[in-house]
Structure 1
Amino acid sequence: MVHLDTSRQTTLAREVELTGTGVHSGAPVTITIVPADADTGIRFRRIDGTAGPAVPAVWQSVAATELCTMLAGSDGRTIGTIEHLMAAFRGLGIDNALVEIDGPELPIMDGSAADFVEELEIAGLYPLATRRRMLRVLKPVRVESKGAVAELLPHDMPRFEIEIDFAGTLIGKQAMAFNLTPGVFRKELARARTFGFLHEVEALWAMGYARGSSLDNAVAIDGDRILNPEGTRWADEFVRHKALDAVGDLALAGHAILGLYRSSKGGHRLNYEMVKALFADSANYEIVPAPAVAAPELPAQVRELAV
């Protein structure tokens, strides 16, 4: 069996195109994911109207985190709801790509990263000659906000320990812990959907947001009921989705993080503040070459291209 050398950077073997609906605009949107050279990183570019500048998917480009993670380019145009695709890139180990988008937000698809993962794996990963670099956490970094807490700690693997607590609701308290690998991401996180309470969605509709939100792309909760006829994909799908978001938001560090990310009652804002705090002091981290470790979990399409 052929394994991909995880010490090398990757991109896609060919372009990927996906079409869907923007969760806030309700408008149709198409993205094209284009292979990119080593050390390019992940970049986004608006191509509706006049093509905009390529915006690096790094924490310095973040413009908002209230309803989703949103980037802004030097031309002032924004690109929203990037977190699920960013999670797919980080979860599968894709370092370099250009995402062209014909509107202000990525398609929500089914509310998870599953469609992105499927299409990226069909395209296949292409290994590049350049060594991958990782960000190693050297000392604890902690942020707190309105009862939510997050910290990054030294650890020898990318690890996440995520806890949520929606007291007084059917969600309640949920937690999960995992070492991030392509196999774990694919099996345990990628299909976890975004969720919300019906009264919150109704308030967003009244403000002109969430126009594309439906039971096809979110788990909706009304009192003690799940409104989706099929129910949840896991009993703890809610914390799995929060973990998915955390993987995507922490990818804005620009490198895979060798460290333990622990969060309680977090969301996009807390994840962003964590990355920002990490980079506030260069003594918090170092950039190191990735170790050469074979990845036996890769699907056939990826192994095929790694020869």
Structure 2
Amino acid sequence: MIRQRTLKSLIKATGVGLHGGRKVQLVLRPAAPDTGIVFHRVDLDPVVDFPADPYSVCDTRMCSGLERDGAKVGTVEHLMSALAGLGIDNLHVDVDAPEIPILDGSAGPFVFLLQSAGIEEQQAPKRFLRVKKAVEYREDDKWVRLEPYDGFRLDFSIVFNHPAIDKTSTQVSIDFAEHSYVRDVARARTFGFMQDVEFMRANGLALGGSLDNAIVMDEYRVLNAEGLRYVDEFVKHKVLDAIGDLYLCGHPLLARYSAHKAGHALNNQVLRVLLEDSSAWEIVTFEQDAATPAAVSHQFELSLA
């Protein structure tokens, strides 16, 4: 049986919010089976809870944020990506600010925190959301699609008119029956352009952004002294984001995801298109090993490697 997972113990971290620039305290706590991922704004009185839910997504300009009762918690996608990559189903996330800390701009530090706390299998079957028929969402030349697949595969392509990006791979395919989230995806950092950073700061955004938590480029080159972590780091970060955005549906997907020039907004919209067509999906469990697709078994073995 493929089981649900949570953490063995509580773990804490401190960081800076990317947009607000504020110090943020983060606490990750184990949760009971079938709890899901729930964020808690513990700095508010009363505390506001934000269950992972694509219909709570409120701000997709520069991140994925959740809103409830007028309160918000932003930049959830990197932590959600790490949780999906490690197969963690149930977790309480306490945060004392309006956004999750950016840390180094990737999911790598979250993976380290989660692995340090320890991952525990629970006495309940993991509930997958299986896509039964193709759905898609388009805006101009941007598009995103979900199709049936016995596993989880992501195909992504980007187009940026910038020499530093054009020198790298701008297409990537990640199939978690073959690839390791920790090794192949988790360390890809968010990226931006110096002129955009200056504009955002003038408008009260990206106040916590720096070369320590993003790849930053001027008109010609990458400014980070250490360069890139992957030869295709730009497009891999888009995959990292997509994994986190899609995990807001509350379950791991059994699907093939394909996208071109997509971002947080399109990822959220395709989830809504899917969920609003009850014939396009179903919830499944694999309680008998013989019924488990080989790709799914291998994916969740790799997630603990």
| Cα offsets for 1:47-80 (capped at 9, x unmatched) | 114142321111021111111100012x311000
| Cα offsets for 1:257-277 (capped at 9, x unmatched) | 111000000111111111111
| Cα offsets for 1:146-197 (capped at 9, x unmatched) | 3111100111111111111113442136011112369611001110000001
Q: 2:13 aligns with which of 8, 18, 30?
A: 18
Look up the match of 2:199.
203
Q: 1:147 aligns with which of 125, 141, 163?
A: 141
**Which segments of 5 or more consecutive residues in structure 1 lack a partner in the other structure?**
301-307
Look up the match of 2:245.
249
SS in structure 2 of the partner of residue 225 of structure 1:
coil
CA–CA distance in 1 between the matches of 2:47 and 2:61?
Answer: 24
> Which stretch shifts more, 82-91 or 132-141?
132-141
> Which stretch shifts more, 254-263 or 177-186?
177-186
1:64 to 1:212, Cα distance in 2 relative to 1, 3 A: same
Q: 1:83 aligns with which of 64, 68, 77?
A: 77
RMSD between superposed Cα atoms in Å: 1.6
Question: In the alignment, is residue 70 of structure 1 matched against residue 70 of structure 2?
Answer: no
Where does 1:232-243 land on structure 2 (aligned, <5 Å)? 232-243=228-239
Look up the match of 1:303.
none
Where does 1:89-238 land on structure 2 (aligned, <5 Å)? 89-172=83-166, 174-180=170-176, 184-238=180-234
Look up the match of 2:284.
288
TM-score normalised according to structure 1 size: 0.92
Whether the 8 Å contact between 2:180 and 2:302 is mirrored in structure 1 is no
Using the TM superposition, give the Cα deviation of residue 35 of structure 1 relative to its aligned residue in structure 2, in angstroms. 0.4
CA–CA distance in 2 between the matches of 1:290 and 1:185?
Answer: 22
CA–CA distance in 2 between the matches of 1:17 and 1:182?
Answer: 32
SS in structure 1 of the partner of residue 266 of structure 2:
helix
Using the TM superposition, give the Cα deviation of residue 290 of structure 1 relative to its aligned residue in structure 2, in angstroms. 3.4
Look up the match of 1:9.
4
Kindly tell me the number of residue pairs found equivalent between the two proteins: 294
1:51 to 1:128, Cα distance in 2 relative to 1, 3 A: same
Which consecutive segments of 4 or more residues in structure 1 shift more than 6 A? none
Instruction: Give the letter aligned to residue 186 of structure 2.
Output: A
SS in structure 1 of the partner of residue 94 of structure 2:
strand
Question: In the alignment, is residue 27 of structure 1 matched against residue 22 of structure 2?
Answer: yes
**Which segments of 5 or more consecutive residues in structure 2 lack a partner in the other structure?**
290-296
Using the TM superposition, give the Cα deviation of residue 84 of structure 1 relative to its aligned residue in structure 2, in angstroms. 0.2
CA–CA distance in 2 between the matches of 1:25 and 1:237?
Answer: 25
1:289 to 1:298, Cα distance in 2 relative to 1, 3 A: closer
Q: 1:47 aligns with which of 33, 42, 50?
A: 42
Question: In the alignment, is residue 36 of structure 1 matched against residue 31 of structure 2?
Answer: yes
SS in structure 2 of the partner of residue 54 of structure 1:
strand
1:41 to 1:181, Cα distance in 2 relative to 1, 3 A: farther
1:226 to 1:168, Cα distance in 2 relative to 1, 3 A: closer
Using the TM superposition, give the Cα deviation of residue 299 of structure 1 relative to its aligned residue in structure 2, in angstroms. 5.3
Identity of aligned residues (%): 42
CA–CA distance in 1 between the matches of 2:171 and 2:91?
Answer: 32
